């Protein structure tokens, strides 16, 4: 039985750039974990906001925190690859440094792999939280079975969410994030792994708090991101959807994310109405999940 003080074969890898205001929450979430990772490799991509001071402090207190400081800004995908190459665990857990893991995430994901040795990549759900105050906004609703996850990817959509994943390290021997695919680098990586035969699964109950703020990629979605994912899905899976449908989905997602971030009730109603206009099917699916999901 694993205890609070026990170590395991999990390496956490995070790429940091100018997240100083969120690093205390990030580190404390891992420190408060029911079991600790064997190592936390945090790659600082030449931050300019004194992130290094905070990273140094925690690394001094906890030897299993292993910083890597890049002398030049190389981009998030390259920084993640550097961290993955330095990881020694059999499993690599991905998380962004502005997010927080729940105390049971490592335990739950490891137990899942123990019970399901055929799984290669395990995703999960999250609570989206807002800014420094960590107000819970919404729970994600990612699929849990391989077949459903595969359907998402074949449509050019993420079937797993990168900051919630734990991945067998062997898959990083042949696959890396591609910097030229940012901010679709996670879709690109997982789609290529899926195409090569990786088996996916997801966990229904949230185990990560994903922070939405002004500088996060989540709240600054670009059409180019969806366009890149669409291109990969056409190449690997023969996705026949048009760029027009990708554009409609982009307009929906942009409006919906503005709805999540808005403080003013009138603005929230406006953004939600616009999101509903572009993709009523997705809004109805979300409402069904909120009102009819089992507690």
Q: Is the pLDDT of residue 6 over 50?
A: no
pLDDT category at 285 given cuts 50, 70, 90 is low
Say if 60 falls within a structural domain: yes
Phi then psi dihedrals of residue 8, to 5 deg = -155, -170
pLDDT category at 154 given cuts 50, 70, 90 is very high
Say if 245 falls within a structural domain: no
Q: Is the pLDDT of residue 287 over 90?
A: no
String of b and e for 272-288 (b: at least 16 CB within 10 Å)? bebbbebbeeebeeeee
60-64, 201-205, 206-210, 215-219: least confident range? 215-219
Q: Is the pLDDT of residue 51 over 60?
A: yes
pLDDT category at 220 given cuts 50, 70, 90 is confident
Say if 285 falls within a structural domain: no
Burial class (CB in 10 A: 0-12, 13-18, 19+), 72: exposed
Calculate the dihedral angle through the C-alpha atoms of 63, 57, 129, 75, rounding to the nearest 10 degrees.
-80
Radius of gyration of the chain (CA): 19
What percentage of residues in the chain have a pLDDT greater than 90? 83
Residue-level pLDDT at 260: 84
Mean pLDDT of 261-277: 92
Burial class (CB in 10 A: 0-12, 13-18, 19+), 291: exposed
Of residues 242 and 133, which shows the higher confidence score? 242
pLDDT category at 290 given cuts 50, 70, 90 is low
pLDDT category at 234 given cuts 50, 70, 90 is very high
22-26, 130-134, 207-211: least confident range? 130-134
Residue-level pLDDT at 139: 93
- The total number of structural domains in the chain stands at 1
Q: Is the pLDDT of residue 293 over 80?
A: no
Q: Is the pLDDT of residue 53 over 60?
A: yes
Mean pLDDT of 40-59: 98
What percentage of residues in the chain have a pLDDT greater than 70? 93
Burial class (CB in 10 A: 0-12, 13-18, 19+), 175: middle
Say if 221 falls within a structural domain: no
Contact 104, 34 (CB under 8 A): yes
Mean residue pLDDT across the chain: 92
Mean pLDDT of 140-144: 96
Give the model confidence (pLDDT) of 59-102 as tens digits: 999 999 999 999 999 999 999 999 999 999 999 999 999 999 99
Mean pLDDT of 10-34: 97
Residue 15: which domain range? 10-213
Q: Which residue is listed with tokens 């690599």? A: 92
* Cis amide prior to 239 (ω within 30 degrees): no
CATH code (residue 123): 3.90.550.10
pTM of the entire predicted model: 0.92
Say if 255 falls within a structural domain: no
Phi then psi dihedrals of residue 257, to 5 deg = -70, -30
Q: Indicate the helix (H) or strand (E) that contains 202.
A: strand 200-212
């Amino acid at each position: 039985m694993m205890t609070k003080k026990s170590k395991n074969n999990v390496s956490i890898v995070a790429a940091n750039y100018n997240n100083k205001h969120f690093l205390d929450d990030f580190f404390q979430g891992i420190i408060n974990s029911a079991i600790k990772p064997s190592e936390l490799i945090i790659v600082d991509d030449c931050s300019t906001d004194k992130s290094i001071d905070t990273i140094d402090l925690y690394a001094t207190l906890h030897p299993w925190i292993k910083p890597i400081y890049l002398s030049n800004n190389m981009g998030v995908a390259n920084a993640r690859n550097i961290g993955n190459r330095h990881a020694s665990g059999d499993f690599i857990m991905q998380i962004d440094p502005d997010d927080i893991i729940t105390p049971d995430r490592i335990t739950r994901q490891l137990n899942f792999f123990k019970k399901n040795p055929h799984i290669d990549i395990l995703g999960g759900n999250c609570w989206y939280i807002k800014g420094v105050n960590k107000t819970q906004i919404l729970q994600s609703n990612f699929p849990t079975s391989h077949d459903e996850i595969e359907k998402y990817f074949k449509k050019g959509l993420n079937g797993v969410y990168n900051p919630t994943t734990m991945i067998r390290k062997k898959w990083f021997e042949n696959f890396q994030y591609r910097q030229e695919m940012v901010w679709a680098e996670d879709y690109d990586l997982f789609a290529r792994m899926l195409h090569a035969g990786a088996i996916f699964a997801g966990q229904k109950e949230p185990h990560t708090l994903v922070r939405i703020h002004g500088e996060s990629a989540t709240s600054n979605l670009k059409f180019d991101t969806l366009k890149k994912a669409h291109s990969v899905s056409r190449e690997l899976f023969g996705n026949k959807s048009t760029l027009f449908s990708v554009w409609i989905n982009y307009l929906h997602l942009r409006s919906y994310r503005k709805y999540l971030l808005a403080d003013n009730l009138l603005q929230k109603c406006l953004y939600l109405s616009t999101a509903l206009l572009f993709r009523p099917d997705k809004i109805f699916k979300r409402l069904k999940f909120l009102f009819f999901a089992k507690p």
